[in-house]
Structure 1
Amino acid sequence: MEKEDLLKTALELSAVTNDVYNEYSTKRDLLVAEINQIMSNRLDIIELVGSNNIDMMKDNHANHAKFVQSIIKRYNPEVLINTVIWVFKAYMSRGFHENYWSAQLNTWVTILKRELSPKAYEMIFPLYNWFIVNIPHFTVLAHKQLSDNPNNTKIKNEKLRESI
Structure 2
Amino acid sequence: MTKSELISIAEKLKQPSEEAQIEFFNNMDITLSELNETMLSRPDLVLLIGENNETMMLDNHRNLLRFMNSMFIDYNPEILVETVLWVFRVYSNHGFNFAYWPTMLNKVLDILRNKLSRDSFEQVKPFYSWLYQPFFSKLANQS
TM-score by length of 2: 0.98
Cα distance in 2 for residues equivalent to 1:80 and 1:14: 13
Runs (4+) of structure 1 moved beyond 6 Å? none
Offset at residue 27 of structure 1 (A): 0.9
**Contact 1:14 / 1:72 at 8 angstroms: preserved in 2?**
no
Cα distance in 2 for residues equivalent to 1:26 and 1:114: 13
* Structure 1 portions without partners, runs of 5+: 146-164
Q: What does residue 152 of structure 1 align with?
A: none
Matched, 1:61 2:61: yes
Q: What does residue 17 of structure 2 align with?
A: 17
Cα distance in 1 for residues equivalent to 2:97 and 2:76: 27
* Structure 2 portions without partners, runs of 5+: none
Cα distance in 2 for residues equivalent to 1:122 and 1:98: 26
Please give the secondary structure, in 2, of the residue aligned with 1:12. Answer: coil
Cα distance in 1 for residues equivalent to 2:109 and 2:26: 17
Equivalence map 1:67-106=2 (5 Å): 67-106=67-106
Please give the secondary structure, in 1, of the residue aligned with 2:21. Answer: helix
TM-score by length of 1: 0.85
More helix, by proportion: 1
Offset at residue 58 of structure 1 (A): 0.4
Offset at residue 14 of structure 1 (A): 2.0
Offset at residue 115 of structure 1 (A): 1.1
**Given residue 144 of structure 1, which amino acid in structure 2 is its aligned partner?**
Q
**Given residue 76 of structure 2, which amino acid in structure 1 is its aligned partner?**
N
**Contact 1:89 / 1:143 at 8 angstroms: preserved in 2?**
yes
CA RMSD after TM alignment: 0.7
Q: What does residue 139 of structure 1 align with?
A: 137
**Given residue 73 of structure 1, which amino acid in structure 2 is its aligned partner?**
I
Deviations 1:83-117 (A, max 9, x none): 00000011110010111011011111111111111
Aligned residue-pair number: 143
Offset at residue 26 of structure 1 (A): 0.9
Q: Identity over the aligned pairs, expressed in percent?
A: 37
